[in-house]
Amino acid sequence: MTDSKYFTTTKKGEIFELKAELNSDKKEKKKEAVKKVIASMTVGKDVSALFPDVVNCMQTDNLELKKLVYLYLMNYAKSQPDMAIMAVNTFVKDCEDPNPLIRALAVRTMGCIRVDKITEYLCEPLRKCLKDEDPYVRKTAAVCVAKLHDINAQLVEDQGFLDTLKDLISDSNPMVVANAVAALSEIAESHPSSNLLDLNPQSINKLLTALNECTEWGQIFILDCLANYTPKDDREAQSICERVTPRLSHANSAVVLSAVKVLMKFMEMLSKDLDYYGTLLKKLAPPLVTLLSAEPELQYVALRNINLIVQKRPEILKHEMKVFFVKYNDPIYVKLEKLDIMIRLASQANIAQVLAELKEYATEVDVDFVRKAVRAIGRCAIKVEQSAERCVSTLLDLIQTKVNYVVQEAIVVIKDIFRKYPNKYESVIATLCENLDSLDEPEARAAMIWIVGEYAERIDNADELLESFLEGFHDESTQVQLQLLTAIVKLFLKKPTETQELVQQVLSLATQDSDNPDLRDRGYIYWRLLSTDPVAAKEVVLAEKPLISEETDLIEPTLLDELICYIGTLASVYHKPPSAFVEGGRGVVHKSLPPRTASSESTESPETAPAGAPSGEQPDVIPTQGDLLGDLLNLDLGPPVSGPPLATSSVQMGAVDLLGGGLDSLMGDEPEGIGGPNFVAPPAAAVPANLGASMGSGLSDLFDLTSGVGTLSGSYVAPKAVWLPAMKAKGLEISGTFTRQVGSISMDLQLTNKALQVMTDFAIQFNRNSFGLAPAAPLQVHAPLSPNQTVEISLPLNTVGSVMKMEPLNNLQVAVKNNIDVFYFSTLYPLHILFVEDGKMDRQMFLATWKDIPNENEAQFQIRDCPLNAEAVSSRLQSSNIFTVAKRNVEGQDMLYQSLKLTNGIWVLAELRIQPGNPSFMALQLSLKCRAPEVSQHVYQAYETVLKN
pLDDT at 258: 94
- pLDDT score at 797: 92
631 pLDDT exceeds 50?
no
Cα–Cα distances (Å) from 31 to 3, 16, 18, 21, 70, in that order, read 12, 16, 11, 9, 13
Cα atoms in the 13 Å half-sphere on the side-chain side of 333? 11
What was the pLDDT predicted at 455? 86
Alpha-helix runs per DSSP H in 770-897: 843-852, 870-878
Q: Answer with the residue of higher pLDDT: 193 or 734.
A: 734
Distance CA 335, CA 347 (A): 20
Check: CB of residue 909 under 8 Å from CB of residue 847.
no
Query: Predicted confidence band at 11 (pLDDT cuts at 50, 70, 90)?
Result: low
User: Which H helix or E strand runs over 518?
Assistant: helix 517-532
Confidence grade of residue 699 (pLDDT, cut at 50, 70, 90) = very low
Under the banding of pLDDT at 50, 70 and 90, the label for residue 683 is very low
Single-letter residue type at 544: E
pLDDT, average across residues 432-451? 86
CB 148, CB 156: distance < 8 Å:
yes
Q: Residue 4: pLDDT band by 50, 70, 90 thresholds?
A: low
The reported pLDDT for the residue numbered 204 is 84
Q: Which architecture characterizes domain 721-829 according to CATH?
A: Sandwich (2.60)
pLDDT of residue 808: 86
- DSSP annotation of 749 reads E
3-state secondary structure 334-402: HHHHHHHHHHHHCCCCCHHHHHHHHHHHCCCCCHHHHHHHHHHHHHHHHHCHHHHHHHHHHHHHHHHCC
For the chain, report the end-to-end CA distance as a whole number of angstroms: 89
Q: What pLDDT score does 7 carry?
A: 65
With a cut of 50, say whether residue 437 has pLDDT above it: yes
- For residue 202, with 0-12 CB atoms within 10 Å meaning exposed, 13-18 middle and 19 or more buried, which class applies? exposed
pLDDT of 653 reads: 36
**In the beta sheet, which residues pair with residue 803?**
769
Question: For residue 835, what is the DSSP state?
Answer: B
pLDDT of residue 9: 57
With contact defined as beta carbons under 8 Å apart, do 747 and 710 qualify? no
Domain-by-domain residue ranges, the chain?
Answer: 346-438, 441-532, 721-829, 834-948
Helix (H) or strand (E) holding 822: strand 822-828
pLDDT one-digit tens code per residue, 576-595:
888 888 876 455 667 777 77
How far is 383 from 391, CA to CA, in rounded Å?
Answer: 11
Q: How far apart are CA 826 and CA 20, in angstroms?
A: 85
Contact 880, 886 (CB under 8 A): no
SS3 content of the chain, % helix, strand, coil (to 5): 50, 10, 40
pLDDT at 647: 38
> pLDDT category, 531, cuts 50, 70, 90?
confident
DSSP 785: B
Residue 556 has a CB neighbour count (10 Å cut-off) of 10
Fold of 834-948: TATA-Binding Protein (3.30.310)
Q: What percent of the chain has pLDDT over 90?
A: 16
Phi-psi region of 772 (alpha: psi -120 to 50; beta: other; left: phi over 0): left
* Dist. CA 767–CA 895, nearest whole Å: 40
Q: What is the mean pLDDT of residues 743-763?
A: 90
Measured CA to CA, the distance from residue 922 to residue 649 in angstroms comes to 46
Contact 558, 572 (CB under 8 A): no
pLDDT the model gives residue 775? 93
- From the number of C-beta atoms within 10 Å of its C-beta (0-12, 13-18, 19+), residue 383 rates as buried
Predicted local distance difference test score (pLDDT) of residue 751: 92
* CA nearest neighbour of 910 among 888, 938, 883: 883
Residue 827 has pLDDT above 90, yes or no: yes
Give 91-126 pLDDT, tens digit per residue: 778 888 888 888 888 888 888 887 777 777 788 888
Q: Which of 37-46, 219-228, 695-704, 726-735 has the lowest mean pLDDT?
A: 695-704
Distance CA 530, CA 523 (A): 11
Q: Is the pLDDT of residue 171 over 60?
A: yes
Closest CA to 305 of 539, 534, 564, 548: 564
Q: Is residue 216 pLDDT above 90, yes or no?
A: no
Contact between 726 and 745 under an 8 Å Cβ cutoff? The reply is no
Q: Whose CA is closest to 337, among 292, 367, 393?
A: 292
Nearest CA among 272, 253, 358, 254 for reference residue 313: 272
d(CA 500, CA 506): 10
Q: What is the DSSP letter of 817?
A: E
Q: Average pLDDT of 418-426?
A: 82
Which of the listed ranges 11-25, 60-74, 185-199 does the model predict with the highest average pLDDT? 60-74
How large is the average pLDDT for residues 646-662? Answer: 38
Q: How many CB atoms lie within 10 A of CB 5?
A: 12
801 neighbors 773 (Cβ within 8 angstroms) = yes
Could you tell me if 385 and 418 are in contact, meaning their C-beta atoms sit under 8 angstroms apart? no
pLDDT band of residue 600 (cuts 50, 70, 90) is very low
Query: Which residues are paired to 926 by β-bridges?
Result: 861, 912
CA of residue 854 relative to chain centroid, distance: 24
Lowest mean pLDDT among 150-154, 189-193, 774-778, 881-885: 189-193
Q: CA nearest 95: which of 50, 125, 132, 67?
A: 125
Q: Which residues of 348-372 are buried (b: 16+ CB within 10 A; e: fewer)?
A: eebbeebbebbbebbeeeeeebbbb
Give the CA radius of gyration of the chain: 35
DSSP state of 481: H
pLDDT for 634: 37
Could you give the percent of the chain with pLDDT greater than 70? Answer: 84
User: By the 8 A CB rule, do 110 and 151 touch?
Assistant: no
Q: Between the CA of residue 743 and those of 325, 701, 746, 798, what are the distances in Å?
A: 59, 12, 10, 10
With the CA atoms of 96, 102, 105 and 109 taken in that order, what torsion angle do they form, in degrees rounded to the nearest 10? -60
Q: Which of 191-200, 450-459, 496-505, 668-677 has the lowest mean pLDDT?
A: 668-677
Strand partners, 812: 827
Q: Residues 897-940: pLDDT tens digits?
A: 999 999 888 899 999 888 766 655 567 889 999 988 888 989 99
Hey, what's the torsion of the CAs at 402, 405, 408, 414, to 10 degrees?
Answer: -90
Query: Position 893: which residue type?
Result: Q
Kindly report the average pLDDT of the chain as a whole number.
Answer: 79
> Using 50, 70 and 90 to split pLDDT, how confident is the model at 463?
confident
What pLDDT score does 628 carry?
Answer: 37
Q: Enumerate residues 6+ apart whose C-beta is below 8 A from 566.
A: 261, 572, 577, 578, 591
State the Cα–Cα distance between residues 203 and 181, nearest whole angstrom.
Answer: 11
Closest CA to 629 of 446, 802, 773, 862: 802
Instruction: State pLDDT tens for residues 233-275.
Output: 888 888 999 989 998 999 888 999 999 999 998 888 888 888 8
How far is 904 from 561, CA to CA, in rounded Å?
Answer: 26
188 φ, ψ (degrees, to nearest 5): -65, -30
What average pLDDT does the segment 628-651 reach?
Answer: 38
Query: How high is the pLDDT of residue 599?
Result: 38
* 811-817/883-890 β-pairing: unpaired
Question: Distance of CA 854 to CAs 57, 590, 849, 857, 928, Å?
Answer: 55, 18, 10, 6, 12
pLDDT band at 194 (very low <50, low <70, confident <90, very high): low
pLDDT of residue 192: 66
- Tell me the pLDDT band of 895, cut-offs 50, 70 and 90: confident
pLDDT at position 366 is: 85
User: What is the per-residue pLDDT for 588?
Assistant: 62
Identify whether the C-beta of residue 224 lies closer than 8 Å to the C-beta of residue 260.
no
Q: Are 382 and 420 in contact (CB under 8 A)?
A: yes
Give the count of beta carbons closer than 10 Å to the beta carbon of residue 569.
Answer: 17
Calculate mean pLDDT across residues 335-347: 89
- CA dist., res. 579 & res. 571, Å (int): 9
* C-alpha pair distances (Å), 389 with each of 42, 350, 351: 67, 15, 12
Q: Are 408 and 442 in contact (CB under 8 A)?
A: no
What average pLDDT does this structure show over 324-344?
90
Signed CA dihedral, 567, 570, 575, 578: sign only: negative
Mean pLDDT value across residues 857-864: 87
| b/e 803-812 (16+ beta carbons within 10 angstroms → b) | bbbbeebbeb
pLDDT band at 8 (very low <50, low <70, confident <90, very high): low
State residue 690's pLDDT score.
39
Q: Is the pLDDT of residue 495 over 90?
A: no
